[in-house]
Amino acid sequence: MSLFNMSLSDILASVVAIAVAISVHELGHAYVAHLLGDDTAKMQGRMTLDPAKHIDPIGLLMMIIVGIGWAKPVPVNPNNFKNYKIGNMLVSLAGAFANILTAIVCIIVIKYARMDAIIEIANYTMSYNIAFAAFNLLPIPPLDGWGVISSFIPYKYNEIVYKYESYSYPILLIAIVTGAYGIIVSPLRNIIWNIVKIFY
């Protein structure tokens, strides 16, 4: 839905939904890093649901206008983990996992709520959390899907990994402009939606 075709209530519900999706995602990263021994994010005040600590204004605006945006990344020092690879993988997955849990809570609210305003906000929040989880699971740097994959790439391939990472933004931009992004992310979104709707 285009921003210009949305009602004021839709825009407000979208802003709330995006703020929630971003906040739970970044909190997920920070909290799991904390559980694994890295308090970098906690010490910087990022282990919180406060949207002001996580939202990037331009990223928020892009999310509202085109449906793809970003937040301030949570600082993580994998050297504090007992197991670098496992720790990096779990922290990378934590954001998407937090989004999926939030979407599940939202669909339960939708099932039992009786107020239209609450249902509308819950619908938007569920949709954005599903979309945010699917987007971040793509194996493209600096997204979380790449964090999972890169955790297990042998060190001898570091040069190849570095070259791939340096081309990540052009690759993502081309995918968005050509429409390939939708083709790639749709299966992930469908899988997540099928998990969430079990709870309806």
pLDDT tens figures, 93-121: 999 999 999 999 999 999 999 999 999 99
Q: Output the pLDDT for position 3.
A: 55
Instruction: Kindly report, residue by residue over 135-172, the tens digit of the pLDDT.
Output: 899 888 888 998 899 888 887 887 787 777 788 778 87
Q: Name the residue with higher pLDDT: 182 or 112.
A: 112
Instruction: Kindly report, residue by residue over 58-70, the tens digit of the pLDDT.
Output: 877 777 776 677 7
Average pLDDT value over all residues in the chain: 89
Percent of the chain with pLDDT over 90: 58
Confidence of residue 4 (pLDDT cuts 50, 70, 90): low
Q: Name the residue with higher pLDDT: 153 or 200.
A: 200
Can you give the three-state secondary structure of the chain, one letter per residue?
A: CCHHHCCHHHHHHHHHHHHHHHHHHHHHHHHHHHHCCCCHHHHCCCCCCCHHHCECHHHHHHHHHHCCCCECCCCCCHHHCCCHHHHHHHHHHHHHHHHHHHHHHHHHHHHHCCCHHHHHHHHHHHHHHHHHHHHHCCCCCCCHHHHHHHCCCCHHHHHHHHHHHHCHHHHHHHHHHHCHHHHHHHHHHHHHHHHHHHHC
**Mean pLDDT value of segment 55-59:** 83
Question: What are the structure tokens assigned to 67, written together?
Answer: 């449906």
Query: pTM value?
Result: 0.90
Q: How many domains does the chain have?
A: 1
The boundaries of the domain holding residue 137 are: 3-199
* Cα maximum dimension of the chain: 57
Question: Which among 26, 120, 159, 165 is annotated as catalytic?
Answer: 26
Give the sign of the dihedral formed by CA 88, CA 193, CA 105, CA 128.
Answer: positive
Q: Verify whether residue 26 is a known catalytic residue.
A: yes
